[in-house]
Amino acid sequence: MSERPKDSGEAFQNPVAGFGVTFKAMFKKRLTEQYPEQQKTTAPRFHGRHQLNRHPDGLEKCVGCELCAWACPADAIYVEGADNTEEERYSPGERYGRVYQINYARCILCGLCIEACPTRALTMTNEFELADSSRENLIYTKEQLLAGLEPGMVDTPHAIHPGTDEQDYYRGLVTEAAPGTERQVAVSKGEKPQDAASSFGPAEPAANKEVDA
């Protein structure tokens, strides 16, 4: 069954309507962004690079629970927890994140790790310039992710605020470091040198060795 032939008026109007869209776009103002000369302004709730937060006295909010690593759909987070001691304390709780790494070659910036964190230790900043020429440099360590010190804070490790417990920190009752708070000596400092290389991805196959009979 043959199709009904189009009349000459319809055949003429269709191309003209298409060119109409083209002509309208020709006179619109260009939306070219002069990046990186002009820095792009992100939305206030933009999901960018992560940040590990501190309590007002400087102790770390991360308790090394690894829930963020379990929630990550891209397997981009690696956490090793360790126990606090009175001689070396990094967080108000029993444990802290000794090793914390995020692989931005895998991270999809979905924010599920933020929702999983029970202490609000992990949040996301507006920083979006994460490109690098090396995969190794895309693995951010705890030192790179940890928030800087603000006035009234003392760098970790240091003792808990006198007369308080872990719950007081999460209720917001601790607002600054106690007078005379001093930084403790870090004995168990430690991200091992091989952690950054071995935390993500399959291990290299072992070389075959001949065994003497």
Q: How far apart are CA 207 and CA 210, in angstroms?
A: 10
CB atoms within 10 A of CB 208: 6
The values of phi and psi at residue 95, to 5°, are: -125, 165
> Listing from the earlier edge strand, what are the strands of the sheet with 95-103?
77-83, 95-103, 139-140
Contact 71, 115 (CB under 8 A): yes
Confirm or deny that 180 is annotated as ligand binding.
no
Confirm or deny that 68 is annotated as ligand binding.
yes
Confirm or deny that 62 is annotated as ligand binding.
yes
Confirm or deny that 117 is annotated as ligand binding.
yes
Confirm or deny that 193 is annotated as ligand binding.
no
H-type helices in the chain, by residue range? Answer: 8-26, 67-71, 112-116, 142-145, 166-170, 195-198
Confirm or deny that 110 is annotated as ligand binding.
yes
Q: Which residues of 30-55 are buried (b: 16+ CB within 10 A; e: fewer)?
A: eeeeeeeeeeeeeeeeebebbbbbbb
Q: Which residues are annotated as a binding site?
A: 62, 65, 68, 72, 107, 110, 113, 117
Known binding-site positions for [4Fe-4S] cluster:
62, 65, 68, 72, 107, 110, 113, 117
